[in-house]
């Protein structure tokens, strides 16, 4: 049994329309006989057959358009009994659709064009200057460009590295590389001093504190971490951050700025994350949209942020757009932290060390792993009632780590 | 040069002729053919006297049929000779573009490496002599688009003298573009001038403030500009590309790593030209070295006009190069 | 049959024409089955030209071919296996799969391509002949081209140059009456191609291209003329292709009747009939030829099927000479 297929009649031919069968089932044919006519974009072709035999039932009828290679009819060798191949799969006809495969995989490109990565307000800066700034630990935001269109060039960066501008009173501490020069260290110290003084001077802080039982959460986390290689493991800090973000969703008044005697609640949750620099000083770059990050992404973001902060490669936006701040001094063994809010933010959550403590519950005394969470909030923006609701929400979210 | 050797006064034209003479003497497979290369002495007098010296077998006047004699050069190269084919100007070479593109550049690949084409084609290129729009273009950048051929643009006497021999040694087709304003260039060469490297670009003037990348006749405008800039305290590094295909990226990239500014000066048109190619390579390979966008000084996008003032305005000139360089270094 | 024609030689010629015919029929089949891609131009009907002309050439002579060159290559002695493998795009092909049907090159037989720019090979042949002459070799460079090429400037420039320099070129025009699908009466003001040779001062004749004996005789005369140092020669072989121009062609430009008229002068039948008529050749002998040809074609297909693909990492090889192959 043989197969007579839709021939390829040119490199650009993908399909052909069978116009007419010139042989009937049962007809004998020999090599070179014209057995059908086929129409392509080029016109009408007479199609020859390259074997001898007897034509079987056509599988494609006149008028159908099929892809090259489709079996048009089964053929039988001379003397063989013709059999009807009822199981033969009918080839796709014109109405049955287009040839499958390549056409399907070549789906239209995504409708949304790639988002430009530059914001409209991006400071023009030459690629070389940008790289130099990273090397010298200079924040591009602090450099005044003197190039065309105010672009920052290499000389501007060099100038800034040698003579860092004193931070404005209202600015948050600037990122700088560890110990590049005594001048930079001093600049940062002064910036922190200015911001903190202003905070203590202007912001009426109130403090609320709560012990949170972390036992269940940490157990869950340990179980999860066993499933992953070391580099993908999640640290408790990520849980704390995520729980804070969730709690902020419940109590949004703590997420925002106090400006012009008004509270501006921010819709996005960018949590400033205090990072201590090895050479001294403190930077609080923000992790963006913490509420929308999965724990694994958040972990990656924290790691990335710490690394870049210490290498002096922070993006300017990360420095200035935190909507509230978290400080975690647990590493150092501190139990409770009473922090100072970074203006114009209105809240700061601090965590001490996670440690085993006696814990009474349901009349039983046990040992639990706990952490003390302290909320510092701006009394101009909120009061203790909202603050309590926040800490309550924080505890609640912490007890359901699988939902974080 | 470590040793002082005797020097001779010569010109670009004489250097080319001496190179042909040397090649014909060293290798009997070498012959020259083209329009008016024999009895006339060459359109630019490069081959003047060679007919008497080597005879009509090896200095062959051809009919005005660029496609046939360039094709015959390819055939002769296939057949074991080492032809030097002279095409009168780059504009006329378009009559033979089919042979250059569809045969010379492809036969080696198309035959799976069985045949190669050791052919050298020389042609005049460039504007500056008021020859107008059918004799004065700079199309070497076009040719540099084609894989399978090598493109040389000798600017200096040294290269005019030294590029031909290595070009003939190259097993693949080599096109040599001689800017018509250079034929009268005079200077000295060592008496025993030798073959030069045809792979590398060359730093012709050193400086730390910006890199000027050029080739052929524009090179000298760049060098003049660099001298003027130096008097104003701007130190430009000037690079002669010498070979347009394959481009020696390393030399100009190393310079840009030092200067952080790149200016390309090309007598070809800007759109789709070799200057665009070099600019793209800088973006690809040295983006983070750049302190200011790459700039180009190219010919105006017009057919080269006849009138002197218009022709001058159409071409890169020393003052336009200086202006561009100053603009680039004025900010810091 | 002419008693001066050696019977064995005639049978060889018949076999070569049969080989070309069957090889190309197989090629058409393999094209239909998508084994061969690109353009495929079949020589069927014109076999007598290549077979007759190649018989007049010596191994050291050079050949520049057209893009309808399977027949020219086979008759020149290029291996059927390597031609088929080339059309399969395999690295065992003569051009390592980089040329395909239109670019068969073979250094061993001095076969300079498969040239697919119509007339573009003519100046190459002129240059090859120039090199031969300058190197003192008494060879002929045979350049195949069609009637379509006669309209190109290349033809005229090259004829002039070759005649001017008295180069040893055999300009071999396969006049099959159609430049692709346009009849010569629509493209040539003076359709006598041989006469154009005379205009350039070279000897030129025309011959019945369906008759291999006549073609060989004319080609030998032409080659002798060239070898004696008389300069180039234009030989016009009047022939006909039985198949469409390429696999794309619906043959709107000629009638079935015209094709059938020409098929009555099928070069294979013409020679076979002569052999029958002179005796000593019968159906059985013909079967033997058919069978041996069939074996050779099948072997070529098997060789091509078994061939391997060049690694993609080698894509840019052979663009420039490598030190190892220079």
* d(C-alpha B40, C-alpha B299), whole Å: 32
* d(C-alpha A38, C-alpha A72), whole Å: 11
Check whether A147 has a pLDDT greater than 60.
yes
Looking at residue A140, its pLDDT comes to 87
For residue range B311-325, what is the model confidence (pLDDT) as tens digits?
Answer: 999 999 999 999 999
| End-to-end CA separation in angstroms for chain C | 51
Same domain, residue pair B257 and B141: no
Domain-located, residue B163: yes
Higher pLDDT pick, C310 / A309: C310
* d(C-alpha A200, C-alpha A187), whole Å: 20
Q: Any chain A CB within 8 A of the CB of C182?
A: no
Are the C-beta atoms of A53 and A1 separated by less than 8 Å?
A: no
Check whether B45 has a pLDDT greater than 90.
yes
CB contact under 8 A, B79 and C128: yes
Same domain, residue pair B117 and B240: no
Longest dimension (CA), chain A: 108
Looking at residue C103, its pLDDT comes to 97
* d(C-alpha C161, C-alpha B65), whole Å: 9
| End-to-end CA separation in angstroms for chain B | 37
Domain-located, residue A239: yes
For residue range B83-93, what is the model confidence (pLDDT) as tens digits?
Answer: 999 999 999 99
Q: How far apart, in Å, are the Cα atoms of A309 and each of A37, A119, A314, A320, C325?
A: 73, 22, 6, 14, 55
Cβ within 8 Å of residue C1, ≥6 positions away: C7, C10, C213, C274, C275, C277, C278
* d(C-alpha C233, C-alpha C197), whole Å: 8
Check whether B195 has a pLDDT greater than 60.
yes
Same domain, residue pair B164 and B303: no
Looking at residue B1, its pLDDT comes to 44
Residue range A218-243: mean pLDDT, rounded? 84
Domain-located, residue C318: no
Check whether A89 has a pLDDT greater than 70.
no
Check whether A108 has a pLDDT greater than 60.
no
Residue C261 has a CB neighbour count (10 Å cut-off) of 11
Looking at residue A116, its pLDDT comes to 42
Domain-located, residue B293: yes
Q: Which residue has the tokens 């590389």?
A: A177
**Domain end point (choices A73, A96, A119):** A96
Domain-located, residue C321: no
Number of domain units in chain C: 1
CB contact under 8 A, C248 and A42: yes
Task: Tell me the ipTM for this assembly.
Answer: 0.89
Query: Which of helix, strand or coil describes residue A271?
Result: strand
Nearest to A8 among C25, C31, C39 (CB): C31
Domain of A76 in residue numbering reads as 2-96
For residue range B75-115, what is the model confidence (pLDDT) as tens digits?
Answer: 999 999 999 999 999 999 999 999 999 999 999 999 999 99
> Pick from A269, A222, A221, A280: which is nearest to A246 by CA?
A269
**Domain end point (choices A52, A70, A96):** A96
- Write out the two tokens for A375: 């909320």
Q: What are phi and psi of C296, to 5 degrees?
A: -65, -40
For residue range C228-251, what is the model confidence (pLDDT) as tens digits?
Answer: 999 999 999 999 999 999 887 888
* d(C-alpha C78, C-alpha C105), whole Å: 9
Mean pLDDT of chain C: 95
Looking at residue B99, its pLDDT comes to 98
Number of domain units in chain A: 2
Band (A142; pLDDT cuts 50, 70, 90):
confident
Number of domain units in chain B: 2
Best interface-test mutation with C: which of A3, A4, A6, A11 has the largest number of C CBs within 10 A? A11
In the Cβ-directed half-sphere of C50, how many Cα atoms lie within 13 Å?
34
Q: Hey, which residues of B are catalytic here? A: 66, 135
Domain-located, residue A254: yes
Domain-located, residue C315: no
Query: Which of helix, strand or coil describes residue A125?
Result: strand
**Does A344 sit behind a cis peptide bond, omega within 30 degrees of 0 on the bond before it?**
yes
Same domain, residue pair B19 and B108: yes
SS3 of A298-355: the string is HHHHHHHHHHHHHHCCCCHHHHHCCCEEEEECHHHCCCCCCCCCCCCECEEEEECCCE
Looking at residue A156, its pLDDT comes to 87
Q: Which of A142-156, A227-241, A313-327, C44-58 has the lowest mean pLDDT?
A: A313-327
Q: Which residue has the tokens 């501008």?
A: A165
* d(C-alpha A319, C-alpha A172), whole Å: 7
**In chain C, positions 236-255, which contact chain A (CB-CB < 8 Å)?**
246-250, 252
In chain A, which residues have their Cβ closer than 8 Å to the Cβ of B331? 146-148, 151, 153
Same domain, residue pair B176 and B210: no
* d(C-alpha B306, C-alpha B180), whole Å: 15
> Pick from A141, A396, A184: which is nearest to A285 by CA?
A141
Q: Which of A136-140, B166-170, C295-299 has the lowest mean pLDDT?
A: A136-140
Cβ within 8 Å of residue B86, ≥6 positions away: B32, B33, B34, B35, B37, B42, B46, B47, B121, B122, B123
In chain C, which residues have their Cβ closer than 8 Å to the Cβ of B247? none
Same domain, residue pair B27 and B169: yes
Looking at residue B310, its pLDDT comes to 94
Domain-located, residue B97: yes
Nearest to A8 among C34, C39, C246 (CB): C34
* d(C-alpha B38, C-alpha B56), whole Å: 7
Domain-located, residue B223: yes
Looking at residue A162, its pLDDT comes to 78
Domain-located, residue C320: no
Residue range C42-51: mean pLDDT, rounded? 98
Q: Any chain B CB within 8 A of the CB of A144?
A: no
Residue range A20-27: mean pLDDT, rounded? 91
Check whether A248 has a pLDDT greater than 70.
yes
Domain of C178 in residue numbering reads as 7-306
Domain-located, residue B196: no
Domain-located, residue C324: no
* d(C-alpha A144, C-alpha A126), whole Å: 13
Most confidently modeled range among A146-160, B129-143, C118-132: C118-132
CB contact under 8 A, A9 and C29: no
CB contact under 8 A, C105 and B114: yes
Best interface-test mutation with C: which of A3, A5, A6, A8 has the largest number of C CBs within 10 A? A8
> Pick from B63, B60, B83: which is nearest to B73 by CA?
B83
Residue range C176-204: mean pLDDT, rounded? 94
Domain-located, residue C323: no
Same domain, residue pair B82 and B180: yes
> Pick from A50, A85, A52: which is nearest to A73 by CA?
A85
Q: What are phi and psi of A244, to 5 degrees?
A: -60, -45
Check whether A94 has a pLDDT greater than 80.
no
Check whether A93 has a pLDDT greater than 60.
no
- Write out the two tokens for B150: 């090598």
Reported residue count of chain B is 332
In chain B, which residues have their Cβ closer than 8 Å to the Cβ of A154? 260, 291, 332
Looking at residue A404, its pLDDT comes to 85
Looking at residue C96, its pLDDT comes to 95
For residue range B238-276, what is the model confidence (pLDDT) as tens digits?
Answer: 999 999 999 999 999 999 999 999 999 999 999 999 999
Same domain, residue pair A85 and A227: no
Mean pLDDT of chain A: 79
Looking at residue C171, its pLDDT comes to 98
* d(C-alpha A23, C-alpha A62), whole Å: 12
- CATH code, B114: 3.40.50.970
**DSSP bridge pairs for B213:** B239, B264
Nearest-Cα residue of chain B relative to residue A129 = B291
**Angle, alpha carbons A26-A30-A32 (nearest 5°):** 130
Looking at residue B208, its pLDDT comes to 94
Q: Are strands C141-146 and C169-175 parallel, antiparallel or unpaired?
A: parallel
> Pick from A168, A183, A175: which is nearest to A133 by CA?
A175
Residue range A369-382: mean pLDDT, rounded? 92
In chain C, which residues have their Cβ closer than 8 Å to the Cβ of A48? 28
Mean pLDDT of chain B: 95
For the whole prediction, is pTM greater than 0.90? no
- Write out the two tokens for C8: 């064995």
- Write out the two tokens for B82: 């080492």
Residue A182 has a CB neighbour count (10 Å cut-off) of 8
Higher pLDDT pick, A43 / A60: A60
- CATH code, C102: 3.40.50.970
Q: Which of A230-234, C231-235, C308-312 has the lowest mean pLDDT?
A: A230-234
CB contact under 8 A, B331 and A153: yes
Looking at residue A335, its pLDDT comes to 82
Domain-located, residue A131: no
Same domain, residue pair B89 and B207: no
Cβ within 8 Å of residue C231, ≥6 positions away: C162, C163, C166, C167, C168, C202
Looking at residue B295, its pLDDT comes to 98
- Write out the two tokens for C175: 């006049």
Looking at residue B209, its pLDDT comes to 94
Q: How far apart, in Å, are the Cα atoms of A176 and each of A100, A187, C6?
A: 58, 10, 98
CB contact under 8 A, A127 and B331: no
For residue range A173-182, what is the model confidence (pLDDT) as tens digits?
Answer: 444 434 344 5
Domain of B210 in residue numbering reads as 202-329
Looking at residue A148, its pLDDT comes to 84
Domain-located, residue A322: yes
**Angle, alpha carbons A95-A98-A101 (nearest 5°):** 150
Q: How far is CA B67 from the centre of its chain?
A: 22
The beta strands (E) that lie in A125-245 are given as 205-213
Q: Any chain B CB within 8 A of the CB of A375?
A: no
Nearest to C127 among B73, B102, B112 (CB): B73
Q: How far is CA B91 from the centre of its chain?
A: 15
- Supply the Cα-derived Rg of chain C in whole angstroms: 19
Domain-located, residue A165: no
For residue range C82-96, what is the model confidence (pLDDT) as tens digits?
Answer: 999 999 999 999 999
CB contact under 8 A, C94 and B79: no
- CATH code, B282: 3.40.50.920
Cβ within 8 Å of residue A390, ≥6 positions away: A247, A248, A250, A251, A254, A347, A375
Cβ within 8 Å of residue C279, ≥6 positions away: none
Neighbours of chain C (3+ CB pairs under 8 A): A, B
Best interface-test mutation with B: which of A124, A150, A153 has the largest number of B CBs within 10 A? A153
Q: How far is CA C120 from the centre of its chain?
A: 15
Domain-located, residue A198: no
**Domain end point (choices A51, A71, A96):** A96
Q: What share of residues in chain B are helix, strand, coil (percent, to 5)?
A: 40, 20, 40
DSSP C196-243: HHHHTTSEEEEEETT-HHHHHHHHHHHHHHIIIII--EEEEEE---SS
Looking at residue B94, its pLDDT comes to 96
For residue range B201-249, what is the model confidence (pLDDT) as tens digits?
Answer: 999 999 999 999 999 999 999 999 999 999 999 999 999 999 999 999 9
CB contact under 8 A, B78 and C124: yes
DSSP B11-66: EHHHHHHHHHHHHHHH-TTEEEEETTSSSS--TTSTTTTHHHHH-TTTEEE--S-H
DSSP element (H, E) containing B287:
none
Are the C-beta atoms of C177 and C205 separated by less than 8 Å?
A: no
Domain-located, residue C326: no
CA of C316 vs chain B CAs: smallest distance (Å): 9
Domain-located, residue B231: yes
Nearest-Cα residue of chain C relative to residue A14 = C34
Looking at residue A197, its pLDDT comes to 80
Domain-located, residue C1: no
Same domain, residue pair B279 and B208: yes
CB contact under 8 A, C113 and B111: yes
């Amino acid at each position: 049994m043989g197969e007579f297929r839709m021939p390829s009649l040119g490199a650009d031919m993908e399909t052909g329309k069978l116009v007419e069968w010139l042989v009937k089932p049962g007809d004998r044919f020999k090599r070179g006989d014209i057995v059908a006519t086929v129409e392509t974009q080029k016109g009408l072709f007479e199609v020859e057959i390259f074997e001898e035999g007897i034509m079987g039932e056509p599988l494609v009828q006149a008028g159908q358009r099929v892809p090259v290679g489709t079996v048009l009819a089964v053929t039988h060798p001379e003397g063989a009994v013709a059999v009807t191949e009822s199981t033969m799969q009918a080839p796709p006809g014109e109405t049955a659709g287009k040839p499958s495969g390549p056409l399907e995989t070549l789906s239209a490109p995504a409708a949304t064009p790639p988002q430009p990565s530059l914001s409209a307000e991006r400071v023009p800066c030459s690629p070389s200057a940008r790289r130099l700034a990273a090397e010298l630990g200079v924040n591009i935001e602090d450099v005044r460009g003197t190039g065309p269109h105010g672009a920052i060039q290499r000389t501007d960066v060099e100038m800034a590295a040698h003579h860092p501008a004193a931070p404005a009173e209202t600015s948050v501490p600037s990122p700088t590389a560890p110990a590049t020069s005594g001048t930079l260290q001093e600049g940062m110290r002064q910036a922190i001093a200015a911001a903190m003084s202003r905070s203590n001077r202007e912001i009426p802080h109130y403090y609320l504190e709560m012990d949170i039982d972390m036992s269940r959460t940490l157990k869950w986390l340990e179980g999860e971490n066993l499933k992953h290689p070391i580099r993908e493991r999640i640290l408790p800090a990520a849980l704390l951050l995520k729980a804070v973000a969730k709690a902020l969703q419940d109590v949004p008044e703590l997420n925002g700025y106090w400006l012009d005697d008004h509270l501006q609640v921010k819709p996005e949750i960018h949590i400033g994350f205090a990072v201590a620099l090895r050479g001294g000083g403190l930077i609080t770059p923000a992790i963006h949209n913490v509420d929308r990050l999965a724990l694994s992404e958040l972990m990656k973001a924290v790691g990335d942020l710490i690394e870049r902060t210490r290498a002096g490669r922070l993006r300017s936006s990360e420095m200035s757009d935190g909507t509230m701040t978290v400080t975690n001094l647990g590493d150092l063994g501190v139990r409770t932290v009473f922090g100072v809010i970074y203006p114009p933010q209105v809240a700061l959550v601090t965590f001490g060390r996670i440690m085993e403590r006696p814990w009474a519950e349901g009349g039983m005394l046990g040992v639990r792993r706990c952490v003390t969470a302290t909320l510092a909030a701006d009394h101009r923006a909120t009061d203790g009632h909202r603050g309590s609701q926040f800490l309550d929400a924080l505890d609640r979210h912490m007890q359901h780590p699988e939902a974080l | 040069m470590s040793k002082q050797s005797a020097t001779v006064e010569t010109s670009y034209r004489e250097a080319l002729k001496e190179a042909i003479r040397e090649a014909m003497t060293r290798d009997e497979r070498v012959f020259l053919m083209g329009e008016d290369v024999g009895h006339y002495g060459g359109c630019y007098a490069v081959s003047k006297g060679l007919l008497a010296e080597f005879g009509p077998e090896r200095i062959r006047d051809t009919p005005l049929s660029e496609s046939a004699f360039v094709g015959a050069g390819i055939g002769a190269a296939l057949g074991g000779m080492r032809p030097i084919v002279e095409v009168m100007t780059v504009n006329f070479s378009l009559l033979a573009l089919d042979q250059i593109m569809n045969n010379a550049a492809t036969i080696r690949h198309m035959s799976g490496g069985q045949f190669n084409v050791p052919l050298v084609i020389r042609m005049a290129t460039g504007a500056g002599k008021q020859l107008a729009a059918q004799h004065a273009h700079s199309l070497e950048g076009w040719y540099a688009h084609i894989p399978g051929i090598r493109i040389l643009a000798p600017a200096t006497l040294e290269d005019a003298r030294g590029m031909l021999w290595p070009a003939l040694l190259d097993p693949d087709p080599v096109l040599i573009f001689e800017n018509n304003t250079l034929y009268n260039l005079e200077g000295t060469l060592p008496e025993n001038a030798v073959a030069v490297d045809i792979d590398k670009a060359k730093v012709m003037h050193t400086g730390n403030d910006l890199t000027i990348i050029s080739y052929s006749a524009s090179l000298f405008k760049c060098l003049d500009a660099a001298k003027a800039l130096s008097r104003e305290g701007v130190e430009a590094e000037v690079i002669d590309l010498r070979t347009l295909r394959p481009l020696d990226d390393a030399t100009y990239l190393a310079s840009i790593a030092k200067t952080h500014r790149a200016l390309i000066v090309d007598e070809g048109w800007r759109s789709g030209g070799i200057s665009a190619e070099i600019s793209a390579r800088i973006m690809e390979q040295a983006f983070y070295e750049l302190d200011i966008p790459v700039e180009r000084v190219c010919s105006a996008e017009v057919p080269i006009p006849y009138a002197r003032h218009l022709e001058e305005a159409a071409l890169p000139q020393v003052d336009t190069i200086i202006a561009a360089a100053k603009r680039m270094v004025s900010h810091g | 049959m002419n008693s001066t024609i050696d019977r064995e030689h005639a049978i060889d010629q018949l076999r070569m024409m049969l080989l070309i015919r069957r090889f190309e029929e197989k090629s058409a089949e393999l094209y239909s089955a998508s084994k061969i891609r690109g353009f495929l131009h079949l020589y069927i009907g014109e076999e007598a030209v290549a077979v007759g002309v190649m018989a007049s050439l010596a191994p050291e002579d050079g050949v520049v071919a057209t893009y309808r060159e399977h027949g020219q290559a086979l008759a020149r002695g290029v291996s059927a296996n390597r031609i088929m493998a080339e059309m399969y795009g395999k690295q065992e092909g003569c051009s390592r799969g980089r040329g395909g049907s239109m670019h068969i090159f073979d250094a061993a037989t001095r076969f300079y391509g498969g040239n697919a720019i119509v007339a573009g090979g003519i100046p190459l042949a002129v240059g090859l002949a120039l090199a031969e002459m300058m190197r003192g070799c008494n060879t002929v460079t045979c350049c195949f081209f069609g009637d379509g090429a006669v309209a190109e400037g290349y033809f005229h420039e090259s004829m002039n140059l070759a005649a001017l320099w008295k180069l040893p070129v055999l300009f071999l025009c396969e006049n099959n009456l159609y430049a692709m699908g346009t009849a010569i009466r629509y493209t040539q003001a003076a359709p006598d191609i041989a006469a154009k040779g005379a205009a350039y001062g070279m000897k030129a004749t025309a011959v019945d291209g369906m008759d291999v004996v006549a073609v060989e005789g004319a080609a030998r005369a032409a080659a002798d003329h060239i070898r004696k140092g008389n300069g180039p020669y234009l030989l016009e072989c009047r022939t006909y292709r039985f198949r469409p121009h390429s696999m794309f062609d619906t043959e709107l430009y000629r009638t079935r009747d015209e094709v059938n008229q020409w098929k009555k002068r099928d070069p294979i039948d013409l020679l076979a009939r002569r052999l029958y008529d002179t005796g000593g050749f019968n159906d059985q002998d013909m079967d033997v030829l058919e069978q041996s040809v069939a074996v050779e074609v099948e072997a070529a297909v098997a060789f091509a099927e078994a061939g391997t693909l060049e690694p993609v990492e080698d894509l840019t090889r052979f663009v420039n000479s490598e030190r190892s192959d220079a």
